[in-house]
Amino acid sequence: MAATPLLELNGIDKSFGPVQVLHDVGLSVYPGEVTALVGDNGAGKSTLVKCVSGIYTIDAGTVTFDGN
């Protein structure tokens, strides 16, 4: 049986004015695993973390943490 993700992101979109920073982002983080968020400069890593932490509001998509 597969584990349930502790954190799951589906279809995350974020824009700043006309600039779309995140488009249809999905991520699943499972308990007991080490997960890294890597990418080029300007790829949206910091923006994604700020959306998950509540600093930025997302324009579309869902964030599920521990089933909620």
Domain limits for position 35: 7-17+24-63
Q: What pLDDT shows up at residue 2?
A: 64
Angle at 10 between CA 8 and CA 16, to 5 degrees: 115
Asked if residue 2 is part of any domain, the answer here is no
Domain count, the chain: 1
Is the confidence at residue 1, as pLDDT, over 60?
Answer: no
DSSP characters for 41-59?
TTSSHHHHHHHHHTSS--S
The residues facing 10 across adjacent strands are 62
Considering only residues 41 and 67, tell me which one the structure prediction assigns the higher pLDDT: 41
Q: Is a pLDDT exceeding 80 seen at residue 67?
A: yes
Residue 7 has which token pair?
A: 């954190």
User: Does 68 map to a domain?
Assistant: no
Tens-place pLDDT, residues 8-63: 999 999 999 999 999 999 999 999 999 999 999 999 999 999 999 999 999 999 99
61 close to 9: Cβ distance less than 8 angstroms:
yes
Instruction: Say if 38 falls within a structural domain.
Output: yes
